[in-house]
C-alpha cells in the first residue's frame, strides 16, 4: 500500500515551519520519518500536508548550558550515541540512543520525532522522565517549557498543542555530577528492530566513591513499556536512598516497581511476565548504576 496524496513542504527555519503549521489544515510535522512514513503507507494517517523539518538545521545540535545540556529536536540518534559531551555528562542518553533499532534508523531518526511519537516503549521518554528533563515547545504565539513527566499524558497522547513543535529538550546535570554518578539504560528485546519488552532507566549518586560502602544520596528509576506513559517510581527510589546499596534494598525496590507498573500484555509477553521483568530489570539497572558511580573517579 502507498500513502494517500499529500503536499510536501520543506521549511528552512523554525519560524517558517510554524507559519506553515498554523496556515495549513490537516498538516503533520515530519522529523526523521522512521515512524510516520510507515503509518502513512498503511493509510493509518492521511495528512494533506507534510511539514518536513529536515531542512531546519538550527534544530540539530547538542550543547552544554550553564546548568546542564540542551539538545535540539532534530539531533539524530547517531549524534546522541556518539556525543562526547553526553557521554561525559549524561551517559544514559548515548546508551539509550545506541539501543534504538539498527544503524539505518539511528542515522535518520531524531530525538524530537521519538518524543513527538510518544510511544511508551520509546527509549528517550523514559530516560527524560528519569533525569527530570524539560521539553521546550514553540508556536507562533511564543514558547513554553513542560517537564517531561507532565508532557506524556496517555498512550501516544501528549501536552503538545496542534500549533506547536518541539524545539529542544534540556536535562540538568547538577543532581548527578559525573564524579559521583552512575547511569544505566537497560532493555529487554527480542530483536534489534523491535520495540523493547521492558526498559529500565536508572541514575544513582553516591556520597563518596572512595568509601568502602558508598551511601546512595539520590536515585532515579523510570520504566518504558511498563505503563501507558513512561513511568517513574519514586516509591522504589526512596528504598535505596540514605544507605549503601544492598541486596535487601534492591529486592524491595524491585518489588515496588513490580507493584507500580501497569503494562499491556503482548504476543510474546503477557502482563504478568512484563511485571516480573520490570522489577528484575530495575534491580539490574540500579546495580549497574551503583557500580558505575563507584568507578566514576
Query: Which of 72, 150, 161 minimizes the C-alpha distance to 110?
Result: 72
Distance CA 251, CA 281 (A): 11
- What's residue 278's pLDDT? 98
Q: Are 143 and 44 members of one domain?
A: no
pLDDT digit string, tens, across residues 48-95: 888 999 999 999 999 999 999 999 999 999 999 999 999 999 999 999
Q: Are 280 and 207 members of one domain?
A: yes
Distance CA 224, CA 227 (A): 7
The CB density around residue 83, as the number of other CB atoms within 10 Å, is 21
Q: Are 77 and 41 members of one domain?
A: no
Q: Are 252 and 207 members of one domain?
A: yes
Q: Are 61 and 40 members of one domain?
A: no
Q: Are 35 and 89 members of one domain?
A: no
User: Of 125, 151, 172, which one is at a domain's C-terminal end?
Assistant: 172
- What's residue 43's pLDDT? 77
Phi, psi of 55 (to 5 degrees): -95, 0
For the domain that residue 251 is a member of, what is the CATH number?
Answer: 3.30.390.50
pLDDT digit string, tens, across residues 111-139: 999 999 999 999 999 999 999 999 999 99
Does the residue 201 lie in any domain?
yes
223 compared with 191, residue with greater pLDDT: 223
Task: Give mean pLDDT, residues 263-287.
Answer: 96
∠ CA 187-244-240, nearest 5°, is: 55
Based on the structure, what is the number of domains in the chain? 3
- Domain span at residue 126 reads 57-172
Contact by Cβ (8 Å): 226, 256: no
Q: Are 139 and 190 members of one domain?
A: no
206 compared with 297, residue with greater pLDDT: 206
Query: Per mean pLDDT, which range of 19-33, 41-55, 242-256, 263-277 is the poorest?
Result: 41-55
Say if residue 40's pLDDT is above 80: no
Phi, psi of 171 (to 5 degrees): -130, 125
The pTM of this model reads 0.94
Q: Are 103 and 189 members of one domain?
A: no
Whole-Å CA distances, 26 to 31, 46, 186:
17, 8, 38
pLDDT band at 30 (very low <50, low <70, confident <90, very high): confident
Does the residue 2 lie in any domain?
no
Does the residue 126 lie in any domain?
yes
Q: Where do runs of H (alpha helix) occur along 9-49?
A: 14-23, 36-41
Q: Are 206 and 262 members of one domain?
A: yes
**Mean pLDDT, the chain, as a whole number?**
94
Q: Are 112 and 69 members of one domain?
A: yes
Q: Are 81 and 167 members of one domain?
A: yes
Does the residue 1 lie in any domain?
no
Q: Which three cell numbers stand for residue 175?
A: 543532581
Distance CA 200, CA 293 (A): 17
Amino acid at each position: 500500500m502507498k500513502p494517500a496524496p499529500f503536499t510536501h513542504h520543506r521549511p528552512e527555519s523554525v519560524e517558517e515551519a510554524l507559519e506553515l503549521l498554523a496556515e495549513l489544515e490537516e498538516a503533520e510535522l515530519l522529523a526523521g520519518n522512521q515512524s510516520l512514513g510507515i503509518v502513512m503507507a498503511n493509510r493509518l494517517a492521511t495528512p494533506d500536508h507534510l511539514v518536513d523539518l529536515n531542512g531546519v538545521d538550527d534544530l540539530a545540535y547538542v550543547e552544554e548550558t550553564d546548568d546542564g545540556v540542551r539538545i535540539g529536536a532534530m539531533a539524530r540518534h547517531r549524534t546522541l550515541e556518539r556525543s562526547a559531551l553526553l557521554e561525559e555528562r549524561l551517559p544514559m542518553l548515548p546508551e539509550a540512543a545506541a539501543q534504538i533499532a539498527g544503524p539505518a534508523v539511528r542515522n535518520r531518526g531524531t530525538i524530537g520525532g521519538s518524543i513527538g511519537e510518544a510511544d511508551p516503549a520509546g527509549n528517550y521518554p523514559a530516560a527524560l522522565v528519569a533525569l527530570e528533563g524539560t521539553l521546550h515547545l514553540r508556536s507562533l504565539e511564543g514558547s513554553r517549557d513542560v517537564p517531561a513527566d507532565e508532557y506524556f499524558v496517555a498512550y501516544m497522547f501528549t501536552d503538545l498543542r496542534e500549533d506547536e513543535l518541539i524545539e529542544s529538550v534540556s536535562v540538568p546535570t547538577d543532581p548527578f555530577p559525573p564524579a559521583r554518578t552512575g547511569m544505566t539504560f537497560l532493555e529487554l528485546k527480542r530483536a534489534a528492530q523491535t520495540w523493547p519488552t521492558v526498559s529500565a532507566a536508572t541514575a544513582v549518586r553516591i556520597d563518596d566513591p572512595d568509601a568502602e560502602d558508598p551511601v546512595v544520596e539520590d536515585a532515579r528509576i523510570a520504566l518504558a513499556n511498563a505503563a501507558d506513559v513512561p513511568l517513574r517510581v519514586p516509591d522504589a527510589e526512596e528504598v535505596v536512598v540514605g544507605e549503601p546499596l544492598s541486596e535487601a534494598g534492591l529486592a524491595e525496590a524491585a518489588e515496588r516497581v513490580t507493584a507500580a507498573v501497569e503494562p499491556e500484555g503482548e504476543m510474546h509477553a503477557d502482563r504478568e511476565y512484563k511485571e516480573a521483568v520490570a522489577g528484575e530489570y530495575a534491580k539490574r539497572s540500579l546495580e549497574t548504576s551503583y557500580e558505575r558511580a563507584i568507578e566514576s573517579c
